[in-house]
Structure 1
Amino acid sequence: ITNSQGKVLLIDPCLEDNPASPVKVSHLKRVDLVLVTHLAFDHLGDTAEIAKKFDCPVVCGGEVKQFLLKQGVDAAQIRTLTWGVQLLVEGIRVRSIMSRHASMRLDAEGNFLCGFPMGFIVYADAGVRIYHSGDTAIYSDLKLVGELYRPNIGLISCSEVEKDYLEKHGILDHYASEMNGDEGALAALWLGVEYALCSHYLYPKGHQDIDKFVSILNNRTSDEGPVVKPVVLEAGDVFVYPPQEK
């Protein structure tokens, strides 16, 4: 996310181990803030390397902090929070939102770390509120999140990461707890966002959950309530808000 002041914010930056990403850590020129939703390898990603390279703050849960400390990140860079807490970091307000998921991992010494997974609302600019779902399962309080905080944009996990990628990391017979296409579309409607950006995939083409997510939202009429526009990006694409007229 880059705001109008040029501040650069990353959420769950998994770049080096992401075969779809054309952007690697060496390509990054500026990072002002990193947010981490939970400890899973594909979400913590390259946070430690980025934090050390740019000496930037990291906002995360306490269990993520402990993991990052073991990876050599300075404690002074790490700001912890849990559900409901707001922080103002680098001039950007961040609110932690509950995620129905898990955040657990063994550190390098074999210690079991466990904490609160989370989503975020990022107040990127005046009038611009971005909701990031993390890996949450669907839950009805997302309606309340929409009613209270009125996000414009939703970055919504609506699919399971491709199975061959998970199997490469030893995750077999995985049944996703993240939202699928139906659930993600319903969450977007509950949140009342203007734009719902699909997330949690490598390649969108031919992905059944993404196709379903898009179809549900595109076939909704204004008579049924506010229209939510689905957005599907390839890795490396850019979405501009508000969209520029062609």
Structure 2
Amino acid sequence: MITFNYYGHACFMLDTGHEKLLFDPFLSFNKQAKLKPSDVICDYMFVSHAHEDHFSDALKIAEINHPMLVAIPEIINLFPAGYDNVHGMNLGGSAHFSFGTVTMVPALHSAGVAGGVACGFVIHFNDDTVVYYSGDTALFSDMKLIGEKQKIHYSILPIGDNFTMGIEDAAKAAQMLKTSYVIPIHYNTWPVIEQEPSNFKAYAESIARCFVKIVEPGHSLDLEYMHK
């Protein structure tokens, strides 16, 4: 069973029981986070883009854990030259790891690093659970194609608005993706992205054939799914 551990904002871990996959490490300046970078244990680290609220603790966690970094080449180049536990990818590419297969998909957002692009990840785990993390993104029509290529069980989507999709667009994304479940993230970190997740849940479940799972920072969710 895969467990989703939420650290607030857009930082979370997917734990297979054998491998720990950390996404977008932002803890030190994240008031929602209940742990410090020095507390994190992970085997893999995925970075969707290089904005501070997704990258700020990446170097520190890499130094402590030496996880495999999965990111675009421009982000990998931000790490010290001697850091060799890396796997560079780019949009549309897939790679196989011990836990399953990862496909890097587009995100419609700025990159935070010169020459780079923002991205999302579709993770097809060995137990056939499929998780889509959109990264920071606007709504875009190719989400429909992402949902057509694989049956997505869980989508992890931003709802905060201002910097990313808001409630209505994230609900439309869930509809286009044909996802079974949605976990909303990237909200209530600062006043400019304050949202009531129960409003997203009500609206998304009214227009899409999905269930919304609200996970509070510091809490976890076992990713069980049922075929619809």
- Indicate the TM-score class for this superposition, using the shorter chain for normalisation: 0.7 to 0.9
CA contact (8 A) 1:94 1:123 kept: yes
Gaps of 5+ in 2: 1-13
Show structure 1 runs of 4+ deviating over 4 A. Answer: none
Deviations 1:199-229 (A, max 9, x none): 112469x943634321212334xxxxx6201
Greater length-normalized contact order (CA 8 Å, ≥ 6 residues apart)? 2
SS at match of 2:200: helix
Aligned pair partner of 2:180 in 194, 198, 220: 194
SS at match of 1:217: helix
Aligned pair partner of 2:90 in 79, 82, 85: 82
Gaps of 5+ in 1: 106-112, 161-174, 221-225
Which amino acid in the other structure matches residue 201 of structure 1? Y
Distance 1:38 1:185 in 2: 23
Aligned pair partner of 1:21 in 8, 20, 33: 33
Aligned pair partner of 1:47 in 44, 48, 58: 58
CA contact (8 A) 2:27 2:36 kept: yes
Which amino acid in the other structure matches residue 42 of structure 1? D
Distance 2:43 2:115 in 1: 27
1:94 aligns with 2:81: no
Larger Rg: 1
Shift in CA distance, 146/73, structure 1 to aligned 2, threshold 3 Å = farther
Aligned residues: 211
Which amino acid in the other structure matches residue 205 of structure 2? N
Aligned to 1:232: 214
Distance 2:118 2:223 in 1: 27
- The TM-score, its normalising length taken from structure 1, stands at 0.79
CA contact (8 A) 1:7 1:32 kept: yes
Shift of residue 195, structure 1, vs aligned partner: 0.9
CA contact (8 A) 2:129 2:153 kept: yes
Aligned to 1:60: 71
Shift of residue 91, structure 1, vs aligned partner: 3.8
Distance 1:31 1:195 in 2: 25
Cα RMSD (Å) of the superposition?
2.2
Aligned to 2:146: 145
Distance 1:82 1:209 in 2: 34
Which amino acid in the other structure matches residue 219 of structure 2? D
Aligned to 2:223: 241
SS at match of 2:201: helix
SS at match of 2:18: coil
Shift in CA distance, 115/241, structure 1 to aligned 2, threshold 3 Å = same
Distance 2:142 2:72 in 1: 21
Aligned to 1:120: 121
Shift of residue 182, structure 1, vs aligned partner: 0.2
Aligned to 1:159: 160
